[in-house]
Amino acid sequence: MDFEAMREYLPLFKDALALTVRIGWQGVLLAFLIGIACAIIQHMRLPVLRTVAAVYIELFRNTPLLVQLFFLYFALPKIGLRISAELCGVLGLGLLGGAYMAETIRSGLESIAPIQSESAQSLGMTGMQAFRYVILPQAVSRSVPGLIANVIFLLKETSVFSTVSLMDLMFTAKDLIGMYAKTMECLTLLVVFYLIMLLPVSVLGSLVERRLRHAEFGP
């Protein structure tokens, strides 16, 4: 193991980590917004929009992120829609994650007993107020374990960004291996930096899940 070479590569991996984290979390935020919108549309049983949401969810859950990125980055320019590699990464991750987030939040919404909405309305709330202040917060709370799992899954999926020329962690590792043949050193740094990115999310998610469970069920 060439530790001197690893020390020289550290700045490159730090820059790659910053790019990966930025695009990854932008994609996660977009995924959450899309997911909650689709879940609400399906829960409210809005006729046309519900069908559109269902088609979107099935399409993006059943196609690989790599294919979606290729379509966004290489196919869209053929019809005059050219986007940057970074925007492609954010959109690809957001659209893929939105499909998974939607199903997770929808499951949370369906776990809430209808009596809760009826009780809220009997106290003078409108149906929308009952949904916003009573149903949705509980559904999101119950969906936290699944949402955290989705976040970790999406952040790991950033490893395919290198296919659209984004200088993320994977791109940096492959580039250095190709130039200097320091395979073990580069792969070791790759693993370490992915752990730096993902472990805090996993630990924080476990703490939040434990706290929410404690708040809901008591000690």
pLDDT of 43: 82
Which parts of the chain sit beneath pLDDT 70?
Answer: 212-219
pTM attached to this predicted model: 0.86
pLDDT at residue 216, as a whole number: 55
pLDDT of residue 18: 93
What domains can you pick out in the chain, each with its CATH number? Answer: 3-217 (1.10.3720.10)
Please give the Cα distance from 65 to 20 (Å, whole number).
15
57-114 residue pLDDT tens: 999 999 999 999 999 888 888 888 888 888 999 999 999 999 999 999 888 888 888 7
Q: What is the pLDDT of residue 213?
A: 67
